């Protein structure tokens, strides 16, 4: 089955600086990679996702890059703000019909220092 | 508004009691999931369902059971609660949709607000 590793487990950055969270996956059949943000006491929410037919996707201050050869993908947050403080989870799955579940990473607790 | 609902949101119960955590979704999704999560920690998949009358065990062994008699409803039951069951339980749902270029695309997995369970 799929195995997703996520680093670092905790990350503190100064407000305005950039934050990068990295994940690696094991199953070369995986082709869908979402990122979820979970604020304290709240439910996880999708912030961005990428499929294996593209190498990069951007949405305002958030971007995700994917390297299929190396089997790793990263989340980049630029110009960080206090509201970016949360736990971030990466995940991976194959969209081939019949594979119905996401495999999540262990999470990164991001703290933005004002 | 389409959403996922979980009840109760908080539950404190004594050891040995039988409990059922409710999850309902008005998203019209086929796929539903139960995760166990200690606050801010890793998400552990304990059960999932492809659709009505389908249930599968997840990656984390669990003493709980689930049922899927109706598309919108996916309750989780613990026959005899123990302190080791103390955790947060998150329900989620999703579906496949036809992509613009053809082929099936996995749609966003939506999470419910969770039930925080404490077993004394």
Strands B115-119 and B10-13: parallel
Spatial distance between the Cα atoms of A71 and A67, rounded to a whole number of angstroms: 6
* H or E, element range at B14: none
pLDDT for the residue A54? 86
Q: Token pair of B106, please?
A: 């996995």
Measured at the alpha carbon of residue A25, what is the angle toward residues B108 and A66, in degrees to the nearest 5?
A: 70
Q: What is the pLDDT of residues B34-67, one digit of tens each?
A: 999 998 899 999 999 989 999 999 888 788 999 9
Instruction: Indicate yes or no: CB of A49 within 8 angstroms of CB of B108.
Output: yes
Q: Which residue of A has its CA nearest to B90?
A: A43
pLDDT band at B100 (very low <50, low <70, confident <90, very high): low
Which of B31, B41, B55 lies closest to B111 in space, CA to CA? B31
- Does any CB of chain A come closer than 8 Å to the CB of residue B50? yes
In the DSSP assignment, the letter for residue B73 is B
pLDDT for the residue A98? 64
């Amino acid at each position: 089955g799929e195995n997703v590793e996520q680093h670092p487990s905790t990350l503190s950055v100064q407000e305005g600086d950039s934050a990068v969270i990295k994940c690696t996956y094991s199953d070369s059949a995986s082709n869908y990679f979402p990122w979820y943000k979970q604020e304290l006491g709240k439910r996880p929410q999708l912030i961005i996702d990428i499929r294996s037919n593209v190498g990069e996707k951007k949405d305002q201050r958030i971007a995700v890059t994917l390297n299929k050869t190396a089997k790793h993908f990263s989340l980049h947050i630029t110009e960080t703000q206090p509201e970016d403080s949360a736990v971030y989870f990466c995940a991976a799955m194959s969209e081939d019909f019949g594979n119905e579940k996401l495999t999540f990473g262990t999470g990164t607790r991001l703290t933005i220092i004002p | 508004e389409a959403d996922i609902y979980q009840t109760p949101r908080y539950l404190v119960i004594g050891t040995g009691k039988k409990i059922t955590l409710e999850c309902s979704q008005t998203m019209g999704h086929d796929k539903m999931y139960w995760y166990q999560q200690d606050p801010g920690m890793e998400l552990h998949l304990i059960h999932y369902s492809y659709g009505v009358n389908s249930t599968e065990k997840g990656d984390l062994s669990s003493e709980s059971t689930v049922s899927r008699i109706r598309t919108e409803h996916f309750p989780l039951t613990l026959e005899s609660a123990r302190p080791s069951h103390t955790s947060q339980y998150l329900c989620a749902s999703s579906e496949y949709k036809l992509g613009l270029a053809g082929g099936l695309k996995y749609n966003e997995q939506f999470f419910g607000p969770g039930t925080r369970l404490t077993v004394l």
